[in-house]
Chains A and B, each alone.
Chain A
């Protein structure tokens, strides 16, 4: 009996944590109960990217796109959509503007327009735990080509034509890295996948591994063929259990099919992969520290050169690439480097996946061609700022990046442009801020992260991050001085020049870029003792306007420290010495009688 419907349930971490698995099980149960279990295939896929509205359930070929589904909805989905072929309007995604007419089409969802999915080509489409579905989507076709039709030189050439640059953040040309390793004479070579994603707000590597693990495996085998390695390792954080599980499943299937292991497809080529778990230290995302960690040593960086491509894991030539870089490789081989090079900007080819989070309406995973402007990402795909607030800035590149202000919103995003405006691509975290965010508070958050994550090996990073943090902390308490700003710039610039690895060299970026673009906000904190976003507790003052206060006593009852006094029906007063600035009175007052300044 042939299957007539497909139900795709999002199995990404975000949806999974919102009971995705229960929805999946409930659908199976209901399909059984309605006697349609044989007619419908229910598949758990990787992330659809539209995490804001998750959990998402798609029904094909009806093109139903159900959002914010709960397990209790399973009954209705089966009874209506599968048995009767009717769309459950209640669950169907409603386009915000509603101007698209009545013909609903998934392609018309604003979130997906302007996106171009290469890395995420299979995410949300295939069952990540089925190698057959990956094969059906041209999976392992690139491997075939590399084993039987192409020489290692051809592979390098194809990558060179494609213009692919490393997606870990620095943007080093991938072909060049592979070529370095290929040219070194050595008995033993390695291929390593860097899946140690630690930037605050970034989760594209995890989603790629969860949604399409085989694409990374395939690319690693190809790298092995190209440089002459027979062993690969995937370094991934232990805190990504779902990605690890799916990788293990994928590796097992690939071994059973003879796509991994000895004598791959009868070609005589051997290659195997192992998963190595990291403990979640940010510095271990730096390649030399990562390799040290795999070797069983403490994860600390070592000076380069020699680069890992020449002398890496256990002193042997090692190709080390980020998850997203690898995921691009099979497509480049099957569709050709020329095809890939037509996407993107002159010096940055292809697409980039961003994890769009913060004060944005549609947060989620977004893959756009290089050269898309920030305005398109934030306002067209992301739907703009939540709650009608005003846009303030976007933080890109995590602790290694900087903020981008309104004036740069129309800059086409690529590796070089971002650096020229004082930020960087980084791994692709993108945190949107609105007027309620205090720029100093945000910067302090990043520095606090870097203080914790610095490995401490070199002084500029160890002492520099701590010092910068202390200055920022003083500003938030109203104890800063204007001359501190110059000192911070000096420290930041020294860190840039003198730190051992990328972490220290970029840790000051949030400080340097906010100093540059928000000098007025720093000045207000220091000279006026004011935080316009009202985030810095010590600079905020809650007061009751006597004329507006009717003495309803709500504020006094809400106050957790009982610092509001006054008689019923008469104006109340806040005791400023005892006030802890929690804002409970402000939120509770129905008469706008409390001011914040």
Chain B
């Protein structure tokens, strides 16, 4: 789960990290009111889960009421990389002389959290990491002990942060690690951490991502979740609880297990088709879940044919077959051809149950995919 900037900033501020004065607004009037309260110049920032907001026109500086109105009008309601902007953060624009980067994330290679500091903040930190990795100081943290204060100081000195700022930046870093640990974060980041003319530091942006698997014990954060989806299908997938990714092709793909579903996508591509989606029904799915999956893929108007690829371990072929039958029997006419491949646990029972007037049954993965690609080509004509 990803927190919005305004949410992450409030978590950071509560923990004692300095953040600019800011107010959330959802109309031009509210933006102007907030800007007058805070005092110009202000930054008007779209609150959507999109990287590179500034470049995409989602962040604007306003030095006057007229500019604040103009910024609000252009940002509120805009479409930012597929997301509709409904709210903006109106924030004191801080005068700064330097921009730092501080963050904590999981180094999966090491299986340990890693704290990072760089004096090359503000710009695209990913390209800094790629082009000049030595410009980012890294300190691995033992999760059993937490971050020692010396580690925070070491990272700050290694990064070359000026001595007069070192103590303040180290304390921000240690607070961030504490938040990372307490809140089950997968990522906390401030980019940029601005340094003012008076050598004050202030978090000009804030990123906080929470491990979805730990939300059960992070109730307060879980309640902040505001579902945002790129389209209605992704919304539907959220309601049904599927791992679903929409793609640009016309072959609908349903399977069990992430690795096998990805492989099915790859095979569709290999045999000349184009995947319309990734849909993993997960392990041990019952008939209703299978029917929901078909409902989802049928409601994607780009889909011309559907392949069902099930290799049951924990999932049972007979349950899957019942789900497919019950989903298809509702139709007078099946909207799109469906090819089914069942293997593994109770696959034979499943194949006996399957109504083969409604679906095409194939024995092997290769045959199932090729047949589906053929159907999709016929339907597309």
Does chain A bind chain B?
Answer: no
